[in-house]
Amino acid sequence: MEVSVAPAVISLPVMESFYTIQGEGYYQGKAAYFIRLGGCDVGCVWCDVKDSWDASKHPLQSIGEMVTTAAAYPGRMAVITGGEPLMHNLDGLTTALHEAGFQTNIETSGSSPLSGEWDWICLSPKKFKFPLPEILPLANELKVVVFNKSDFDWAEKYAALVSPSCKLYLQPEWDKSNEMTPLIVEYIKENPQWEFSLQIHKYMNVP
């Protein structure tokens, strides 16, 4: 009996790619090459990259082209983000990045099945489409965006489901940072297992 095998993904829709400073989370302040893939079915109302949602609006790039461009820069940390990058099969991309000497990091809502081989998984769960249970114990970093007071309970729900070694971050939604930052500070003082994540790239005016 012949078994059909899905063809390997050799190109992906890329909204943008750039070399910059990681602005948030565990690797904040580190040089990183970002690849932002098009396509998202999560639909966060406060998303600051809504142009990424429709994958068909963004040109396909070959994995070879992506990695060659990334390797032109001295940093060797690649961050795959979106949109929701796990809407795509990322096995080929992470293999190529590892072969080129990159550390592979992903920023994901966890709402689509995991693909790729990752050195660091930043899970940012969203209320608009929940993360898949199988991804939760694999997260190295849990980053919860705080949009209103109810998000603290939301954060604790997922903190109880990730591994004990997972780093825990609370990050104010950018447009509500003046309102939410003082609440987060007080919450972390009472719950010191959490850390504060600030989007320093927006203050630095870098991508």
Q: Is 51 inside a domain boundary? A: yes
Q: Is 116 inside a domain boundary? A: yes
Which tens digit of pLDDT belongs to each residue from 163-194? Answer: 999 999 999 998 889 999 999 999 999 999 99
**What mean pLDDT do residues 36-61 have?**
82
Q: Is 5 inside a domain boundary? A: no
Q: Is 198 inside a domain boundary? A: yes
Q: Is 120 inside a domain boundary? A: yes
pLDDT of residue 127: 87
Q: How many CA atoms lie within 13 A of 62 on its CB side?
A: 3
Determine the Cα–Cα distance for residues 80 and 90; give it in Å rounded to an integer.
Answer: 9
Q: How many CA atoms lie within 13 A of 139 on its CB side?
A: 33
pLDDT of residue 8: 65
Q: Is 3 inside a domain boundary? A: no
Q: What are the strands, taking DSSP E only, across the chain?
A: 11-21, 31-37, 60-62, 77-81, 103-108, 120-123, 141-146, 167-172, 195-196
Q: Beta partners for 109?
A: none
**Phi-psi sector, 43: left (phi>0), alpha (psi -120 to 50), beta:** left
| Residue 144 domain boundaries | 11-204
Determine the Cα–Cα distance for residues 175 and 204; give it in Å rounded to an integer.
Answer: 16
Q: Is 6 inside a domain boundary? A: no
How many structural domains is the chain composed of? Answer: 1
Helix (H) or strand (E) holding 200: helix 200-204
- Out of 46-50, 67-71, 112-116, 189-193, least confident range: 46-50
pTM score, two decimals? 0.91
Q: Is 177 inside a domain boundary? A: yes
pLDDT of residue 43: 72
* CATH number of the domain within which 114 lies: 3.20.20.70
